[in-house]
Amino acid sequence: LDHYLVVGNPIAHSKSPFIHAEFAKQTQQAISYEPLLIETNNGAFTQAIQAFQAQGGKGLNVTVPFKQEAWALVKQRSTRAERAGAVNTIGFDNQGNSWGDNTDGIGLVRDLTKNHGKSLNNQRILLLGAGGAVRGVLEPILQEKPACCVIANRTVEKAQTLARLFTDLGDISASSYTDLAGQQFDIIINGTSASLQGELPPLPDDIIPLKRGWCYDMMYSAQRTPFIQWALEHGAICARDGLGMLVEQAAEAFYLWRGVRPETEPVIELLKQRLR
């Protein structure tokens, strides 16, 4: 039996153990996958990871607030993780070396393109927020060759820093919320944490092209998120939350560890039923 963990703080409500148990059943892989709460004091994360590796653990998922620490800890990083500045998937090889990857962006892209049939190619994309969540998904989004990618953030400097960091990968720029006035975007992706406080980024009322625009919230919840609700009231033809992204990022991690691709659709369906 190969052992895996998901670590974070908080962690009790993580859906990852359920998702990976379903993947393991489906692909007949003998693994365990447990949640582990790690204290946020200095050094606790590194200690916990090293102890798990010493016990023979094969890999782990890392969630809030440890993805940057995970990035710093691993010996080797994939190119997408390198630029994301964050690692959500760690593996240990037989030589005792650790590698880190970030599967969040490919999870978002696959949910949109494969599950929802929405291509990002040649689309005008607006990303809301400039924190770790947005930085983590920028490279895979730009690889889809959108027409342009605008990052809007309350603190514009953070959006500008991100735009600079990814400028060689495509047409990417930064904006304040007020400067969005008069513009429209084919796809608007919410990567702010505003939903957590039941809040909304201050968007112009006419930013969604009527009956054509798509909206995506990287968050998910049992009820519609405030952003999804707003999108549907302002002309979006489709507004999806991040449940599919959660399952797709997990599937990519599972593939990296096990070399097998699980089917995600049945697991997304099961999760939807459990959320109801």
Q: How big is the chain, counted in residues?
A: 276
CB of 96 to ligand ATR, least distance (A): 30
Q: Please, which residue, 26 or 176, has the CB nearer to ligand ATR?
A: 176
First to last CA, the chain: 33
Strands (E), 98-166: 98-101, 124-128, 148-152
The residue at minimum Cβ distance from ligand ATR is 131
Q: Please state whether the peptide bond connecting residue 65 to the residue before it is cis, i.e. omega within 30 degrees of 0.
A: yes
* Contact mark string toward ligand ATR, 196..235, x via CB under 6 A: -x-x-x----------------------------------
With binding defined as CB under 6 A, does residue 79 bind ligand ATR?
Answer: no
CA–CA dist 153, 266 (Å, integer): 35
The catalytically annotated residue of 67, 75, 118, 145 is 67
Q: Choose among 162, 180, 182, 178: nearest CA to 170.
A: 162
With binding defined as CB under 6 A, does residue 154 bind ligand ATR?
Answer: yes
* Per rule CB under 6 A, count of chain residues that contact ligand ATR: 15
CA–CA dist 153, 175 (Å, integer): 7
Would you say 175 and 150 are in contact if contact means Cβ atoms under 8 Å apart?
yes
Task: Calculate the alpha carbon distances from 248 to 97, 125, 163, 186, 201 in Å.
Answer: 26, 20, 25, 22, 26
With binding defined as CB under 6 A, does residue 85 bind ligand ATR?
Answer: no
With binding defined as CB under 6 A, does residue 157 bind ligand ATR?
Answer: no
CB of 159 to ligand ATR, least distance (A): 8
With binding defined as CB under 6 A, does residue 192 bind ligand ATR?
Answer: yes
Can you give the three-state secondary structure of 11-51, one letter per residue? CCCCCHHHHHHHHHHHHCCCEEEEEEECCCCCCHHHHHHHH
- 67 catalytic per annotation: yes
Residue choice 59, 100, 107, 129 for contact with ligand ATR (CB under 6 A): 129
With binding defined as CB under 6 A, does residue 160 bind ligand ATR?
Answer: no
Residue choice 59, 132, 146, 170 for contact with ligand ATR (CB under 6 A): 132
With binding defined as CB under 6 A, does residue 194 bind ligand ATR?
Answer: yes
Largest CA distance in the chain: 57
Q: Which residues here bind ligand ATR, judged by CB under 6 A?
A: 129-133, 153-155, 158, 192-194, 197, 199, 201
Please list the active-site residues.
67
